[in-house]
Amino acid sequence: MTRVVTVVGIVLAMTLGSASAQTLKTVKDRGVLNCGVSQGLPGFSSPDDKGVWSGLDVDLCRAMAAAIFDDATKVKYVPLTANARFTALQSGEIDVLSRNTTWTLSRDTNLGLNFPAINYYDGQGFMVRTSLKVNSALELNGASICTQSGTTTEANLADYFRANNMKYELVKFETADEAIKAYDTGRCDGFTSDVSQLYALRLKLSNVNDHVVLPEIISKEPLAPAVRQGDDQWFDVVKWTFFATINAEEMGLTSRNIDEASKSTNPEIKRLVGTEGNFGEQLGLTKDWVVRIVKQVGNYGESFERNVGTGSRLGIARGLNRLWTKGGIQYAPPIR
């Protein structure tokens, strides 16, 4: 039903005049950032028993709130289904969508959206019961596969099985929770989604160790935040907030040592923490924007380890998401 509500919203927004082109000003005036997140995906965006949200996607919104308000808690989280997320952004219900969303060409063009940066390099994979003794996705001919509807997953699945000349049955559900429950009852042999989600949703199964994630990665899933087209300043704020966390990790700035960093004589660090230049002000923020972000949220590496890394419940290896200096592909343009 949320879908219908958001569509009504979008029609109203479209009717009563264009959505504000000055998102940064609107957000500052409002005093709180509206951030679209998932309905509960451990490691990326999920609320705890006190209703406090955490996760890698949530950290991006917290970093933005820290940069804008100097208070990472000034975020209103709007939980969205995969089907409702884009209309919520288009209609202006949220300022930024940070909901493990794959960046694709058609979404970039048809939906009137822009993707500022990739905050998690992911790929689609399969999870099956260990009792099936399946070692490869290529052995899944004739299987029933459960998934969540309204994602890139469905089309990737169709492509993979067609390319390998295999048959399958697709059973798709409105939410990831419903899909994983049906898989748990044995309705399906396999469950497919982005690999990071497989690890997260596996935690919701009745017996975690009865299920295994297969080695095949069948697609590229660059997960990215999204903003509306036509507001370049806001696009830049989201983009550089994320880049700031990458640059901070590269420079070795963490939430613990950020206070000493203001005394640093290293010109690169000086530009980052704002003791030299006025880069934050060029974005419409303050000079110490990076200090605020790193102090309250941490750099990208800290956020990764805390939410999804080997130290967390998900236990995902850093892999492609390592910095470019450490053999990964996370890379940010310089702040200068």
Partner 1 sequence: MSPEARQAPRRSARAILYDPRLRAIAYQFIVVVLVGWAAWHVIHNVQANLEAQRIATGFGFLNQTAGFAVNQSLIPYQESDTYGRVFVVGLLNTLLVAVIGIVLSTILGFIIGVARLSSNYVVARLAEGYVEIVRNLPLLFQILFWYLAVLGALPGVRNSVAIGVQPSLAWLADKVALFGGGALTLAEYIRSASAWFGPPDFFVNNRGLIVPEPVFHEGGMIVLAVLAFGIVAAIVMRGWARRRLDATGRAFPVGLASVALVIGLPLLALAAMGFPVGFTRPELRGFNFVGGVRLNPELVALVVALTTYTASFIAEVVRAGILAVSRGQSEAAAALGLKRGVALRLIVIPQALRVIVPPLTNQYLNLTKNSTLGAAIGYPDLFSVFAGSALNITGQAIEIIAITMAVYLFISLVTSMLMTWYNARIMLRER
Which parts of 150-209 interact with partner 1 (CB under 8 A)? Answer: 150-151, 154-155, 157-159, 162, 168-175, 178-179, 181-182, 185-187, 189
Q: Site for partner 1 (CB under 8 A): how many residues?
A: 58
Interface residue with partner 1, options 19, 118, 314, 323 (CB under 8 A): 19
Interface residue with partner 1, options 111, 205, 213, 217 (CB under 8 A): 111
Can you read off the two tokens belonging to residue 274? 């704002």
Report the nearest approach of partner 1 to the CB of residue 59 (Å).
26
According to the binding rule CB under 8 A, does residue 228 interact with partner 1? yes
Residue 19, helix vs strand vs coil: coil
According to the binding rule CB under 8 A, does residue 229 interact with partner 1? yes
According to the binding rule CB under 8 A, does residue 255 interact with partner 1? no
Comparing CA positions, the residue from 310, 305, 293 lying closest to residue 63 is 293
According to the binding rule CB under 8 A, does residue 244 interact with partner 1? no
> What is the b/e burial string over 71-108, where b = at least 16 CB atoms within 10 angstroms of the residue's CB?
ebebbebbbbbbbbbbbbbbbbbbbbbbbbbbbbeebe
Contact call for residues 33 and 111 (beta carbons, < 8 A): no
According to the binding rule CB under 8 A, does residue 122 interact with partner 1? no
CA distance 233 to 25: 10
Can you read off the two tokens belonging to residue 166? 């295999």
Report the nearest approach of partner 1 to the CB of residue 72 (Å).
30
Q: What angle do CA 30, 34, 38 make, to 5 degrees?
A: 170
CA atoms within 13 A on the CB side of 310: 5
Tell me, residue by residue from 124 to 153, as one string, x for binding to partner 1 by CB under 8 A and - for no binding: --------x-------xxxxx-x--xxx--
Q: Strand 96-102 vs strand 33-37: parallel, antiparallel, or unpaired? A: parallel
Positions touching partner 1 (CB under 8 A) are 3-4, 6-7, 10-11, 13-15, 17-19, 82-83, 86-87, 90, 106-107, 109-112, 132, 140-144, 146, 149-151, 154-155, 157-159, 162, 168-175, 178-179, 181-182, 185-187, 189, 228-230
